[in-house]
Amino acid sequence: MRTLDAVVIGAGQAGLSAAHHLQRRGVRHVVVLDAEDGPG
């Protein structure tokens, strides 16, 4: 089982920005969940 540090719901502009900033601040295990297959 994998442990996550953060889960971002939504792969729109705000969700992808949040994931990007989390990783820049050192959060290593981030997953982005969205209802669609791709970002946007």
Per-residue pLDDT tens for 1-40?
A: 789 999 999 999 999 999 999 999 999 999 999 998 876 6
Neighbours of 35 (CB within 10 A): 7
Q: Which pLDDT belongs to residue 2?
A: 84
Structural contact between residues 13 and 39, judged by C-beta atoms closer than 8 angstroms: no
Q: Which pLDDT belongs to residue 24?
A: 98
- Tally of domains within the chain: 1
**Cross-strand pairs, 31:** 7
Q: Which pLDDT belongs to residue 32?
A: 95
Query: What residue numbers bound the domain in which 14 lies?
Result: 1-40
- Gyration radius from the chain CA atoms: 10
